[in-house]
Amino acid sequence: MALVAIDPNFTVPDTVIRLTPLQEKLQLSIVTATERIDVPPICFEVMDGELSSEIGTLGNISLWIGKAKQGKTFALTMALAAAETGKWLMNKLKITLPEENKNILLFDTEQSRYHVQRVIKRIAKLSELDEPINLTAFGLRKYTPAERLELIEYALYNTEQIGFVVIDGIRDLITSINDEEQSTMISSKLLKWSEELNIHIAVVLHTNKADNNARGHLGTELTNKSESVISIGRDTEMEDQMIVKPEYCRSREFIPFGFKIDDYGMPFIVDIQNLNLEKRKSLSPVDIPTETHLLILDAIFKLKSDLKYSELIPQIKDYFMRHGISFGENKAKEFAVFYQNDLYIEAFKPEKGNTLYRKLNKVSVQKHHLNAKNQFNSSLNHFDENDQF
């Protein structure tokens, strides 16, 4: 069969030519530079200080991983409560759904009806409700993998106004997590459901006992296809605390956070700033490769070659965040001092106006200004004395 040449901007009358089903699918799959495609609405956010990190959008899927009995369901319980209220939960999690897509579905494949009900009660309590308004939960433990898959697909396409879906136990929709054909089938269905229905689907999968990778070929497939991969695990230093952290994110990664379970079985978020986490260690400019510094400075000065100090500092913070490195204003000022001392940038004063900063041509070899304690030597600061650090 010869493939019909298709012009995406021209509609051929049915009387002239009829497209085969394959050609019609190809027609609908064309993407052009000029067509208007809206940015996917942000659905799932995590708050980092005064900024939020996007970890989920409508029309996509996310993968939640962790070892058995280490808090995955509790973490999703908090997410479901955030979806139910549409407000910030404990100033940390928020799920925003359009008014016309407020409904939430939870499919649990592992727990008994009694334990699924306990999850619903926790969601209601976190939402300050007697009964969730938008949530419908299904306990699918007694069904076969094929039946679970069929029931979930039917529910998705026959429930109105869905926005957020959780499948707690995605591996229970197939018979083997190492079967390539079944794994590809499940990941393809998730992508199809999320795109066609414009919903976000969060799925839960265990990790290997020997490492933190999602289990089997199914885990590999879902890791590759997911917008975000979030891990939940028990803190090695505090047994009663779980850590939620990003493994892979297409957007800026959020800073890991922790949660505990109170005496009534309710999860609550805790501060983990003092834990020995990689994301929380004291960061020095010399810890960052020269190539990264140059890349970020190129981006900062791309649109405007001369910046005020008040413009430079927030942009240093912002562009490092885009590279998954988060820090505060004081650290951004430390980086600015480093850049001037190490001749990445220079300060100059126009005939009229305040001090400005511009990028210098920097070679790839960098000299570090360190004192005896291996700390940055702030005495080398050459910034304008009117610019307060």
| Helices and strands in the chain: count of H runs, count of E runs | 9, 14
Examine the domain organization and report whether 216 and 259 are in the same domain: yes
8 Å CB contact between 316 and 336: yes
Residue 149, beta-bridge partner list: none
Boundary residue ending a domain (276, 302, 332):
276
Report the run of H or E that residue 358 belongs to, with start and end: strand 356-359
Distance CA 295, CA 273 (A): 29
Examine the domain organization and report whether 262 and 320 are in the same domain: no
- CB pairs under 8 A, 24+ apart, for 39-43? 41/96, 41/98, 42/96, 43/95, 43/96, 43/97, 43/163, 43/164, 43/200
Question: Residue 100: which residues within 8 A CB-CB, separation 6 or more?
Answer: 161
Half-sphere exposure of 358 (CA within 13 A, CB side): 9
Written as six digits, the tokens of 21 are 């089903």
pLDDT tens-place values along the chain, 389 residues long: 444 455 555 555 555 568 888 888 898 888 888 888 777 778 888 987 667 788 889 999 999 999 988 899 999 999 999 999 999 999 899 999 999 999 999 999 999 999 999 999 999 999 999 999 999 999 999 999 999 999 999 999 999 999 999 999 999 999 999 999 999 999 999 999 999 999 999 999 999 877 778 889 999 999 999 999 999 998 887 888 999 999 888 877 888 899 999 988 999 998 775 444 444 445 778 777 787 888 899 989 988 889 999 999 999 988 887 766 777 888 889 899 989 888 889 999 888 788 999 998 865 444 333 333 333 333 333 444 344 33
Examine the domain organization and report whether 309 and 237 are in the same domain: no
Domain CATH for 314: 1.10.10
Boundary residue ending a domain (241, 276, 311):
276
8 Å CB contact between 259 and 270: yes
Distance CA 343, CA 4 (A): 59
Say how many domains are in the chain.
Answer: 2
387 within some domain = no
> Which range of residues forms the domain containing residue 94?
42-276
